[in-house]
Amino acid sequence: MCRAAIPRARGVTRTFEGLLATAEGLHRIHDNADKIGRHRGVCAGPPDRLGAGPMSDACDGHDHHHDDGEMDGPDSPLVRSLAPSPNHDARKEPVSLLIMHYTGMKDGMAALKRLCDPNPPRVSCHYVVFEDGEIVQSVAERRRAWHAGIGSWHGRDDVNARSIGIEIVNPGHEFGYRPFPEAQIEAVIALAQDIVGRNAIPSAGVIGHSDTAPTRKQDPGELFPWKRLAEAGLGLWVPPVPLMDGPSYRQGEEGPPIQALQALLGMAGYGIQVTGVYDALTAAVVTAFQRHWRPERVDGVADASTLRTLRDLLAAR
Ligand SMILES: [Zn+2]
């Protein structure tokens, strides 16, 4: 395991390249030592998080004459450790979204290794937040990390080009989805506030991965405390309307009410066509909406509570 402390100063990581090339450990940030010391102790902590590879020139895309993509240091003072991923490229749009994910793997270490793996399919994320609240940065915010994949929000695709991504360690629906610990949520909120403030991301731009890719993704899931984030000024939120009797629509139905539902979901930001047919895509989008804004029942059925919550959300914008 590499315990080398990497000073934050520009270019210094380069001089450590030989070391990093064989490093088995996470690269602690030397001049954050006061923070590390308060939190866990510089030298007394557990084994470093990961065997991260170097930020290789061979892996950083085609623009390294202008920007080699290296992290000179953390973008946020809340970051405790760097685990550089080689998986990123040049940003071509300004940042306007902050995307919340869960890792969906058995543990955080496995997820961090995956996010730094140079072998395909290559993925990455700007930040990983562990269950104890430790924040690791993997990709510089100015770079386009590969966390969101195919999807859209408010009619625009290439979500990666205009977003910063936070991976929150949780096994997810596949490996035992569970509530996010308090320390983790506090860290996510603090980090998100810092990111949103520095990048001038609008409140409504804080969304979940499943919002951008409803047919493929479930994260961060219905246990994610969006209300807590909203109370901290992050994301749009309205109180979910309680389950109630009333009009309800489901997959297979057709007609003007379905058209209206699809139009409203599109106004909220979801990638959906107004066809008047409650198809599988519509059910997936309703499911994604429920995970985020009406989590009491996540079933893809546009019941009266879901419809009213959607209207309240649109009215609150
Ligand atoms: Zn995700």
Residues 6+ apart with CB under 8 A from 144: 88, 89, 90, 91, 92, 160, 161
| 60-81: average pLDDT | 76
- CATH code, residues 5-231: 3.40.80.10
Q: Where in the chain is the domain with CATH 1.10.101.10?
A: 256-316
At residue 66, the pLDDT reads 61
68-77, 119-128, 151-160: which has the minimum mean pLDDT? 68-77
285's tokens: 């989008």
Q: What is the pLDDT of residues 162-211, one digit of tens each?
A: 999 999 999 999 999 999 999 999 999 999 999 999 999 998 999 999 99
Active site residue 167: yes
Using DSSP's 3-state secondary structure scheme, residue 116 falls into coil
pLDDT tops 60 at residue 227: yes
Ligand 1 centroid–CA 102 distance in Å is: 6
Q: Which of 93, 167, 186, 296 is catalytic?
A: 167
Is CATH 1.10.101.10 the classification given to domain 256-316? Answer: yes
Q: Are 124 and 95 within 8 A, CB to CB? A: no
Q: Residues of 146-185 as b/e, b for ≥16 C-beta within 10 angstroms? A: bbbeebbbbeeeebbbbbbbbbbbbbbeeeebeebeeebb
Ligand 1 centroid–CA 51 distance in Å is: 22
pLDDT tops 70 at residue 13: no
At residue 48, the pLDDT reads 43
pLDDT tops 50 at residue 62: no
At residue 69, the pLDDT reads 83
Ligand 1 centroid–CA 217 distance in Å is: 7
Ligand 1 centroid–CA 103 distance in Å is: 7
pLDDT tops 70 at residue 120: yes
Per-residue confidence band for 98, with pLDDT thresholds at 50, 70 and 90: very high
Q: Are 189 and 234 within 8 A, CB to CB? A: yes
